[in-house]
Amino acid sequence: MTESVSIVDPDKFVTVGKFLEPANAQMAKGMLESAGIECFLQGENANSLLALAFRARLLVHKQDEEAARQLLGGAGDELTKEEQKELEAGDDEG
């Protein structure tokens, strides 16, 4: 008999948060790193230049996803009221 073993690909990353404000993304990243969870931000530079067009994504290893989501408590998954207003106002400016 062969036993099936579930192996998690260490190169597989998942997004656990999206942030409109780069400072919020950095704080969430710092929270995960202080808990020993390896993570990185994707798109943070583009987000700094065109915040209304891009959101910084916080990524972790697949095996750390559940722990990261518990630590973040949903942070980064939704827009704040202020961020929503900025997005809506973005079409009217310019």
pLDDT at 8: 52
pLDDT at 68: 94
pLDDT in tens, 25-45: 999 999 999 999 999 999 877
For residue 6, being part of any structural domain is answered with: no
pLDDT at 31: 95
pLDDT in tens, 62-81: 999 999 999 998 655 455 66
Residue 18: give its domain's CATH number.
3.30.70
Please count the structural domains in the chain.
1
Contact 50, 21 (CB under 8 A): no
Contact 29, 3 (CB under 8 A): no
Q: Is the pTM here over 0.75, yes or no?
A: no
58: its two tokens: 């916080």
For residue 84, being part of any structural domain is answered with: yes
For residue 43, the surrounding DSSP H or E stretch is none
pLDDT at 69: 92
